């Protein structure tokens, strides 16, 4: 298992653990603590309040002030996330609804959409509800995968040489008789001292017919990162408003307003440039937060795997959220994608891998360093 995580980190590892700005070997840190869960770890819990009752979750703490929970019964998605006690993600009024309450019809998905740092849309449908006449199927908003409990869930916190790795894995299967049989094997990992996490998804068609593949990572960023002082920072090649409503705000898609009465959502399709490794880097930052100390969050991912990016700008009261949404599709729905010739398909036995890094920019110094990376890495 640990060798697998070394491969996933793809050269991002260090030789010793870093905690509170200091490097420690395994033996050095063992002199100070009786159990590593004193400073970092993964803890399984079960939610019990209201319609979240029975949802299995994994609580991660990295020791840097970064903490987040993974909902094993909700597609292994990342729910609440904090840095030094400050919320990073927007949470909806619905909460962490148990999958038994999922309504697949029309926009019923919204009744169990709890928000959170990562909500996966897919695997065979992402975007608007519709009817796919070719497959004779009613398509609900954003698909099923985020409401499917994971199988074979494993997790751990353990040393690999002098790195302390925190990880979880699980399998989410979207399948039915006389229909698709897709399995997503998700690996989610971080390590001691980090303020970032990595997700690796391998989606395989285990059926005997071609299957649609629509994947979109719905990353929901909220207050205090999102405010009237916030901005999106990235190198933008092009931007296309989704519709007439978005055209009204096209000149200000990288800026955000205070909560606004009767705000109508705006979506923008953005083409980002890449660095010399083919990675997209995009940040959402609030420079004036906490007496101009600043706070932000970033995404980093291979454009080859996730070539399309949607910004969901929702500045409503209570519904006050910015969606940072990389995917292999736009959230237009399967039928629309097929009609445009843009629908991705997995052949029988074929698999597709997706990687996503999400990290905290804890202050303006880190925000400036991120901007320098945008300018200096061939972006």
The model's pLDDT over 22-76, given as tens digits with 9 standing for 90+, comes to 999 999 999 999 999 999 999 999 999 999 999 999 999 999 999 999 999 999 9
Three-state secondary-structure class, residue 290? helix
Contact 157, 321 (CB under 8 A): no
Contact 226, 203 (CB under 8 A): no
Residue 154 sits at the vertex; the CA angle it makes with 298 and 114, to the nearest 5 degrees, is: 50
pLDDT at 15: 59
Average confidence score pLDDT of the chain: 94
CA distance 63 to 41: 8
The whole-number average pLDDT for the span 66-94 is 98
Q: First CA to last CA across the chain, in angstroms?
A: 34
What are the respective helix, strand and coil percentages of the chain, to the nearest 5?
Answer: 15, 45, 40
CA distance 71 to 310: 24
Rounded to the nearest 5°, which phi and psi values hold at 5? -70, -35
- Per residue in 319-376, pLDDT (tens digit) is 999 999 999 999 999 999 999 999 999 999 999 999 999 999 999 999 999 999 998 7
Residue 323 sits at the vertex; the CA angle it makes with 320 and 326, to the nearest 5 degrees, is: 180
Contact 166, 41 (CB under 8 A): yes
Give the number of other CB atoms < 10 A from CB of residue 101.
13
pLDDT at 347: 98
CA distance 299 to 316: 24
Give the number of other CB atoms < 10 A from CB of residue 48.
9
Which residue carries 């006449």 as its tokens?
133
pLDDT at 9: 47
Domain that holds residue 205: 2-376
pLDDT at 379: 44
pLDDT at 242 over 70: yes
- Per residue in 4-16, pLDDT (tens digit) is 444 444 445 555 7
Return the minimum-mean-pLDDT range out of 12-21, 95-104, 108-117: 12-21
Three-state secondary-structure class, residue 92? coil
pLDDT at 4: 46
* Secondary structure element (H or E) that encloses residue 334, with its range: helix 334-339
CA distance 70 to 56: 9
Report the CATH number that the domain containing residue 160 is assigned in CATH. Answer: 2.70.98.10
* Total domains in the fold of the chain: 1
């Amino acid at each position: 298992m640990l060798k697998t995580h070394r491969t996933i980190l793809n050269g991002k590892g260090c030789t010793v653990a870093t905690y509170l700005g200091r490097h420690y070997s395994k033996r050095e840190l063992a002199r100070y603590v009786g159990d590593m869960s004193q400073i970092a770890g993964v803890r399984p819990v079960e939610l019990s309040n209201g319609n979240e009752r029975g949802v299995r979750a994994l609580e991660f703490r990295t020791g840097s002030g970064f903490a987040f929970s993974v909902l094993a019964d909700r597609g292994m998605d990342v729910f609440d996330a904090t840095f030094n006690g400050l919320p990073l993600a927007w949470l909806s009024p619905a909460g962490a609804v148990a999958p038994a309450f999922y309504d697949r019809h029309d926009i019923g998905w919204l009744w169990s959409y709890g928000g959170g740092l990562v909500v996966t849309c897919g695997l065979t449908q992402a975007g608007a509800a519709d009817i796919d006449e070719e497959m004779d199927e009613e398509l609900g908003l954003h698909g099923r995968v985020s409401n499917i409990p994971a199988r074979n869930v494993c997790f751990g916190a353990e040393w690999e040489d002098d790195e302390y790795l925190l990880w979880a894995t699980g399998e989410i299967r979207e399948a039915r008789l006389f229909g698709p049989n897709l399995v997503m094997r998700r690996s989610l990992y971080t390590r001691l001292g980090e303020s970032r996490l990595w997700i690796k998804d391998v989606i395989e068609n285990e059926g005997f017919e071609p299957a649609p593949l629509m994947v979109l990572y719905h990353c929901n960023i909220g207050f205090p990162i999102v405010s009237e002082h916030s901005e999106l920072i990235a190198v933008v090649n092009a931007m296309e408003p989704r519709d007439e409503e978005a055209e009204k705000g096209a000149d200000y898609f990288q800026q955000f307003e205070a909560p606004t009465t009767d705000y109508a959502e705006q979506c923008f399709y953005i083409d980002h440039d890449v660095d010399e490794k083919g990675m997209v880097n995009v940040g959402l930052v609030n420079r004036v937060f906490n007496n101009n100390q600043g706070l932000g969050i970033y995404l980093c991912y291979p454009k080859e795997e996730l070539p399309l990016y949607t910004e969901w700008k929702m500045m409503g009261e209570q519904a006050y959220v910015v969606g940072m949404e990389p995917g292999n599709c736009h959230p237009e729905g399967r039928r629309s994608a097929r009609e445009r010739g843009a629908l991705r398909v997995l052949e029988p036995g074929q698999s597709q891998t997706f990687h996503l890094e999400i990290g905290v920019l804890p202050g303006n110094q880190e925000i400036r360093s991120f901007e320098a990376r945008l300018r200096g890495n061939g972006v």
